[in-house]
Amino acid sequence: MIGELMLPSSPPLVLILLGPPGAGKGTQAKLLQEKLILPHISTGDLLREHIRRKTPLGAQAQGFMDKGNLVPDSLIFDMLFERTSHEDCSRGYILDGFPRTIPQAKALQDRLKDKPAPIVLNLELTDEQIIERLTKRVICEKCGTPYHLIYSPPKVSGHCDRCKGVLIHRPDDTEPVIRKRLTVYHEQTEPLIHFYQRLHLLHTFDCTLDKKEVFDHILSIIKG
């Protein structure tokens, strides 16, 4: 499949990027998007776009996001499943930041029940490494590409290598909010590791490695 990558006749491929905030889900999703020509769907990016456009959904979501809490499932489901119904998702898609709770994972399994099982890519990093990464992270305002100011800075300071968009600090990338997001991750999202392990769909990656090494490892799993 990889090389020719996805042939028009390939069955739809759904990839789920699981892991704490800052483990590299967005980075790996962008690399996979380019390699597999599949849409990258980040629920965080979709929500930030609603906030930017000042939609009613954005207004409801913002308070939860600013505090580092999860946005209620009722707001997430319609937004996500509307997006996955678009024509560009017919060959599959890459989910980044969804599912984040057991009810979300169950709702997704239900949606996918007549389709090939998803591949779940679990990215691992310790809490202290995450805090170090996220406090120095900037993202592109336009396309969401993340950069680390020390380890993977943009070529031109302040601008995205991919689309030349302006790089910003996310308002929820401050240490107190990051710590809250980590608590929420351990309580509500980490149980998904066991959920997908039981379904034999989980593959775990050590994200202390260089992003290219992690990416090569992910590709070898997808090829397999």
Beta-carbon contacts of 1 under 8 Å, excluding residues fewer than 6 positions away, are 7, 10, 13, 222, 223
Nearest approach in angstroms of CB 100 to ligand AMP is 4
CA distance to 41, 95, 96, 99, 132, per residue, from 16 (Å): 10, 5, 6, 8, 25
**What is the spatial order of strands in the sheet that 92-96 belongs to?**
40-42, 92-96, 13-18, 119-124, 202-206
Check if 91 is active-site.
no
- Residue 146 touching ligand AMP (CB under 6 A): no
Nearest approach in angstroms of CB 159 to ligand AMP is 21
DSSP character for 27? H
Tell me how many degrees the CA angle 173-122-43 measures, rounded to the nearest 5. 50
- Interface of this chain with ligand AMP, residues 48 to 77, rule: CB under 6 A: 64-65, 68-71, 76
**DSSP conformation letters of 176-187:** HHHHHHHHHIII
Cβ nearer to ligand AMP, comparing 10 with 73: 73
- Residue 120 touching ligand AMP (CB under 6 A): no
Catalytic residue among 30, 48, 133, 181: 181
- Residue 145 touching ligand AMP (CB under 6 A): no
Check if 100 is active-site.
yes
Catalytic residue among 25, 30, 48, 133: 25
Under a CB-based contact definition with an 8 Å cutoff, are residues 41 and 10 in contact? no
Bridge partners for 167 per DSSP: 140
Check if 170 is active-site.
yes
Cβ nearer to ligand AMP, comparing 11 with 63: 63
Contact letters for ligand AMP, residues 156-195 (x by CB under 6 A): ----------------x--------x--------------
Residues with active-site annotation:
25, 100, 137, 170, 181
